[in-house]
Amino acid sequence: MPQVFFIPPRRAGVSAAMLLLSGLAAVQSAAAPPKAGKPGKTSAGATEVKLVRVPDRGIQPQAAVDTEGTLHLIFLGDEPGNANVYYVRKPAGSERFSKRIQVNSQPGSAIAVGSIRGAHLALGKANRVHVAWNGSGTAEPKGNVKYGNPMLYSRLSEDGTKFEPQRNVIQKAYGLDGGGSVAADLDGNVYVAWHAGDGTGEENRRVWFVHSSNDGDTFADETTADSDKSGVCGCCGMKAFADRQGALYMLYRSARAKVNRDMVLLTSTDHGKRFQSGVSDKWMIATCPMSSEAFIDAADSVLCAWETDGQVLFSRIDKKDQQGSRPIAAPGAARGRKHPALAVNNRGETILVWTEGTGWEKGGALAWQVFDERGKPTGAKGRTDNAIPVWSFAAVYAEPDDSFVILH
């Protein structure tokens, strides 16, 4: 049965949804200075949001908190066109990040240019760290060089001290442009996903993925996930995610008839054997907006966020029937909003983080909004100019005291 992810009709140029959030933090929220009060709250009673700069002035942070409360963070550094991926962690209760570990075994084999081809992070069985990224022009193993760069994967060693040598998971589906992603569940299933084409146009691009049932030891050959063949926006990113129950989600921008660049959600409850497909938001535009997406797990739902027409939005996907709720948009006028990120705390509050004014070789502002458990905006919100470096965005996570930290 096809998935329904309905967006109501809207007037031309007006976004009908809501946005998502991103980031980690170590500086204070603009909401109010946190004086004496309840844990995770400011003196004014708003949920506390802290801003923290990524270690080593890194860019494109991706963060996740494991079942023991440890924060895992990856980021890019060095030369944008031939970047390196770095990993740090911070145990619950600690104020310091660990010494960084380089993820990519070949220096310069990642890409920061464009902000959507960088590394993605997933936590799997026994909280093991899995990372995937688009290979740079010099990356090895190259594979079939006739069709382009490799899609690379690595995982943290069992003792947590180093990453395994990077592997190219593509066997035949070359033609990378926009970014790939990685997902992992608690039972040892790992997925690396990307989109690729044969050079005949975006409308003929497909979503591909590989599946490992043994925690990344080996991967089966790639297969397609998008049976409706609606094309893929070439230079947009995509996001893969697995929830705690083992369901797999993929969110990407289509390119049907070259101008119908809708957000499409794929969902599988049988480890990628079959996918439900549904349109999550429609957007008619003849150019590539270089979009990115986000997911976060909640108790009875999975939240996903995306960008449409300069606005960021998020929706809740019910885990029982895989149906998506009406999207929620970030309050206020859309001002070039992109790159959403999300986090949920134990009170059921959701923070949506995004960038404003970023573009090609251009940094911009960081903004955020906290929503209550019913999806209503609260007084915890903020915006900081010039907080996002060139080629970057933010990540976000929830602390045990229910405050939020934005990494930028």
Per-residue pLDDT averaged across 348-364, rounded? 97
CB 205 within 8 A of CB 254: no
Token readout for 316 is 């809740």
User: What is the structure's pLDDT at 279?
Assistant: 76
Q: Is the peptide bond before 141 cis (omega within 30 degrees of 0)?
A: yes
Q: Look at residue 375 and tell me whether its pLDDT is greater than 90.
A: yes
Beta strand ranges found along 17-112 (DSSP E) = 49-52, 59-65, 71-79, 82-90, 101-102
pLDDT single digits (tens) 49-105: 999 999 999 999 999 999 999 999 999 999 999 999 999 999 988 889 999 999 999
Per-residue pLDDT averaged across 331-340, rounded? 93
Q: Give the residue from 244, 276, 263, 278 showing the smallest Cα distance to 5.
A: 278
User: What is the structure's pLDDT at 85?
Assistant: 98
Three-class SS state of 55:
helix
Q: Look at residue 231 and tell me whether its pLDDT is greater than 80.
A: yes
Q: How far is it, in rounded angstroms, from Cα 37 to Cα 56?
A: 33
User: What is the structure's pLDDT at 29?
Assistant: 34
User: What is the structure's pLDDT at 145?
Assistant: 58
CATH of 49-407, one of 3.90.199.10, 2.60.120.620, 2.120.10.10, 3.10.270.10: 2.120.10.10
User: What is the structure's pLDDT at 334?
Assistant: 87
Three-class SS state of 125:
helix
User: What is the structure's pLDDT at 339?
Assistant: 98
Residue ranges per structural domain of the chain: 49-407
pLDDT single digits (tens) 270-304: 999 999 998 778 999 988 899 999 999 998 999 99
Q: DSSP letter for 202, please.
A: G
Token readout for 273 is 């054997």
**pTM assigned to the model:** 0.90
CB count within 10 Å of CB 360 equals 10
Tell me how many degrees the CA angle 247-248-254 measures, rounded to the nearest 5.
Answer: 145
pLDDT single digits (tens) 211-223: 999 999 999 999 9
